[in-house]
Amino acid sequence: MPIRFQIQVRHAALAAFLAVACLADETAAWAEKTQTESPGLSPEEQIVISVYKHASPGVVHITSTALAYDVFFNPVPQKGAGSGVVVDDRGYILTNNHVVEEADSLEVTLPDKSKVPAKLIGRDPSNDLAVIKISVPKEKLFPLKMGNSDALQVGQMAIAIGNPFGLDRTVTRGVVSSVGRTLRSESGRQIRGVIQTDAPINPGNSGGPLLNSRGEVIGINSAIYTPSGGSVGIGFAIPVNTAKRLLPQLIARGRVSHPWLGVAGLDITPEVASALKLPVHHGIVVMQVSPKGPVDRAGIRGARKKARIGNMLVGVGGDIIVAVEGRKMTSIDDLTAFLDAERKVGDQVKVEFLRDGRSLTTSVRLGELPEER
């Protein structure tokens, strides 16, 4: 092994060791600090108790009301419930998009049991995040400290606070079970970097915080995996770094600007390549382009006819996107993730594609993903 590489490896290992040692020291200091508050309890119990005492005032109960209609067209209010995180003393509250998206009115219950109306400020269905706002005196607000989800390690403590089944400010504890998971939002786009936890999360926890042992928000609880409808120890939280990155846009614009090519496509798998007799084994078959959208203006073509693959009817004959900015694209999800992470609306990107077996390249100016209605 070259000496320079050995030094780099040693430096990286030392940095990782110091980070773990620092985290252990901070957690130990936190436990020692709280030991005087409730003597006779274990260090883990002390941590959970202290986190709950300090963080629960910053967790609110959100009630949404949507109007439905019965068979006689009479309006019937339908209520939903979720949780939210107070992010500053101006009254802004972070929650999940699915908690508020269908609401005709919103109400927030504060820790002192007072109820106040809330206004929807902004939402991003692609990341299942939303911001609402209440108008109350600053002394009634307890903003929570935002942590760093990029520094999470599998196995560290995870504490969830929320309102499962309407049970006000319930705490559950577990660990970070995994990081870097992928979750598909209701809009169909993938949310990457999702935190998995075994801290019990149930309906009503949505929008509430997932916290570390220092009481910092590391994620916004969003979903559970459940065959039965109840918690089975697999919950998911949107990483707080994603929320921190999007929060300014949600407050200022009411939405998040996502770069967009304006294309619907079919991922090429070996089975698809064989069935359609395609000249490549990776890429995206362009089935449809949005009229006057970015790729349409750049001259990329969609499907011209239909073909059946198994029990699916798909569009074929369109161009095949194989790379963007020199990166191979194997799926629509890869394309979306690349654009979201590394490009912004208005950027020019080089798109490589095949048309009738010929390799072509064109420049596309990225548009903005249309807002859902």
pLDDT digits (tens, 9 = 90+) for 74-121: 565 667 889 999 999 999 999 999 999 888 999 999 999 999 999 999
CATH (domain of 287): 2.30.42.10
47 located within any domain = yes
Determine the structural domain holding residue 118 and report its residue range.
Answer: 41-65+78-255
Mean pLDDT of 305-310: 80
Residues 289 and 304 in one domain: yes
Please state, for a pLDDT cut of 70, what percent of the chain lies above it.
Answer: 83
The larger pLDDT score, comparing residue 121 to residue 190, is at 121
Residues 279 and 347 in one domain: yes
Q: CA–CA separation, 371 vs 373, rounded Å? A: 6
Residues 93 and 230 in one domain: yes
Mean pLDDT of 192-200: 91
Q: CA–CA separation, 175 vs 155, rounded Å? A: 5
Residues 84 and 228 in one domain: yes
Q: Check whether 37 has a pLDDT greater than 80.
A: no
Tell me the CA end-to-end span of the chain in Å, nearest whole number. 57
60 located within any domain = yes
The total number of structural domains that make up the chain: 2
DSSP output for 40-96: TS-HHHHHHHHHHHHHGGGEEEEEEEEEEE-TT--EEEEEEEEEEEE-STT-EEEE-
Q: Check whether 151 has a pLDDT greater than 90.
A: yes
Q: Which of 230, 255, 280 is the last residue of a domain?
A: 255
Q: Check whether 152 has a pLDDT greater than 60.
A: yes
Convert 54-81 to b/e letters by CB count within 10 Å (16 or more is b).
bbbbbbbbbbbeeeeeeeeeeeeeeebb
Against a cut of 0.85, is the pTM above it? Answer: no
68: which 2 tokens? 């439905």
31 located within any domain = no
pLDDT digits (tens, 9 = 90+) for 226-284: 555 555 678 899 999 999 999 999 999 999 999 999 999 999 999 888 888 899 999 99
Given this model, what pLDDT does residue 10 score? 44
82 located within any domain = yes
Q: CA–CA separation, 285 vs 277, rounded Å? A: 12
173 SS3 class: strand
Residues 216 and 281 in one domain: no
Residues 235 and 300 in one domain: no
Average pLDDT, the chain: 85
Positions annotated as catalytic residues are 98, 128, 206
173, 158 contact by CB (below 8 A)? yes
Q: CA–CA separation, 195 vs 218, rounded Å? A: 9
Confidence of residue 7 (pLDDT cuts 50, 70, 90): very low
Q: Which of 255, 290, 317 is the last residue of a domain?
A: 255
Q: Which of 228, 255, 282 is the last residue of a domain?
A: 255
Residues 105 and 234 in one domain: yes
Residues 267 and 242 in one domain: no
**Closest to 304 measured CA to CA, from 239, 251, 355:** 355
Given this model, what pLDDT does residue 314 score? 81
Residues 131 and 210 in one domain: yes
Residues 294 and 163 in one domain: no
Return the minimum-mean-pLDDT range out of 74-83, 188-197, 214-223, 277-286. 74-83
Residues 171 and 319 in one domain: no
Given this model, what pLDDT does residue 17 score? 45
